[in-house]
Amino acid sequence: MDLDSIECVSSCDGLDEEETSHLHLPFTKAHGVAAANGGAPPPGISPATSIHELLECPCHNGHTLCSTCKTRVHNRCPTCRQELGDIRCLALEKVAESLELPCKYSSLGCSGIFPYYSKLKHESQCNFRPYNCPYAGSECSVTGDIPFLVAHLRDDHKVDMHTGCTFNHRYVKSNPREVENATWMLTVFHCFGQYFCLHFEAFQLGMAPVYMAFVRFMGDENEARSYSYSLEVGANGRKLIWEGTPRSIRDSHRKVRDSHDGLIIQRNMALFFSGGDRKELKLRVTGRIWKEQHMNSSSESGVCLSSLCTS
């Protein structure tokens, strides 16, 4: 990675009876759910199907064990010491279908309750799941909510932090002929009560070396659509302008870069904008972020206003 300068102008065998008693807990809980519903069976179980019928295990000795405990007892039944097979326990599967469980991100704010078999799919898309660190200069494995990641970027990665929705940055590289995936320091902006990441880097696009700038939103995609940004670079009476919607940091830095969703500057054009003898890259990138204010459905369709911050 090439970090260049940036100037801001702006066990188990033999489990005893006590250790294996937890195997009966799911059935006790399911029975309790039915009792709490006035004797009605849990959702997903036919009224004609009793808990007793569900517990008629198809196994030879009638003993059940979860997959985790099966590994711990070395594939031997802790009750009768018979070798365990790979027979599905349809009784437990039907009980599992009847259970509704909270999202594992409930402590982070998710209040959803989901059927057992759809819980994992929800958690993979839950809006309350932690975000990955958006820093592009290293393979950082830190995750957390937005306030935590902002502090992490500031304290651990020492990124530039700015307040305001307009920016004027100058990117310098002493030998622009050596592109090789150079990455400049990430810049974080705070405006409209949200945080945005400004990226700038060099990489090979096919056989051509290019520079690219783009903005990511520190939040979910549906929130990101409420904002727009523009980037502008130029000199000598010429300019390039990019306008778009910031991508959420749910999309990785590499995914955004490889989709070319940003301002792309060919090296020859970048050197032209740098002026002088074209032996040093000196690009000034300006831009702004604004919030789209869509009018309600009773207003004329297709009309929106943009709100600029005053800081």
CATH number at residue 261: 2.60.210.10
Hey, is 174 helix, strand or coil? coil
Q: Please report the pLDDT score of residue 244 as a whole number.
A: 96
Q: What is the DSSP letter of 277?
A: T
- 3 belongs to a structural domain: no
194 compared with 294, residue with greater pLDDT: 194
Residues 119 and 159 in one domain: no
Per mean pLDDT, which range of 10-14, 46-50, 112-116, 225-229 is the poorest?
Answer: 10-14
**pLDDT band at 55; cut points 50, 70, 90:** very low
Residues 150 and 26 in one domain: no
- 9 belongs to a structural domain: no
- 5 belongs to a structural domain: no
Instruction: Using the predicted structure, report yes or no on whether residue 11 has a pLDDT greater than 90.
Output: no
- 158 belongs to a structural domain: yes
Instruction: Using the predicted structure, report yes or no on whether residue 29 has a pLDDT greater than 60.
Output: no
Taking only Cα atoms into account, the Rg of the chain, rounded to an integer number of angstroms, comes to 29
Range of the domain at 53: 17-98
- 8 belongs to a structural domain: no
- Are 196 and 289 within 8 A, CB to CB? yes
Q: Which residue has the tokens 């502008």?
A: 232
Residues 123 and 137 in one domain: no
- Give the global pTM: 0.67
Reported as type and span, the H/E element at residue 210 is: strand 208-217
Residues 139 and 71 in one domain: no
Residues 90 and 187 in one domain: no
Average pLDDT value over all residues in the chain: 76
- 4 belongs to a structural domain: no
- 11 belongs to a structural domain: no
In this structure, the number of other CB atoms found within 10 A of the CB of residue 148 comes to: 14
Give the Cα separation of 217 and 174 in Å (integer).
Answer: 30
Residues 145 and 187 in one domain: yes
Residues 61 and 171 in one domain: no
Q: Which residue has the tokens 């972020």?
A: 289
What residues does 162 pair with on adjacent strands? Answer: 189
* Cα three-residue angle 283-253-150, rounded to 5 degrees: 90
Q: Please report the pLDDT score of residue 181 as a whole number.
A: 59
Residues 181 and 85 in one domain: no
Q: What is the mean pLDDT of residues 165-172?
A: 88
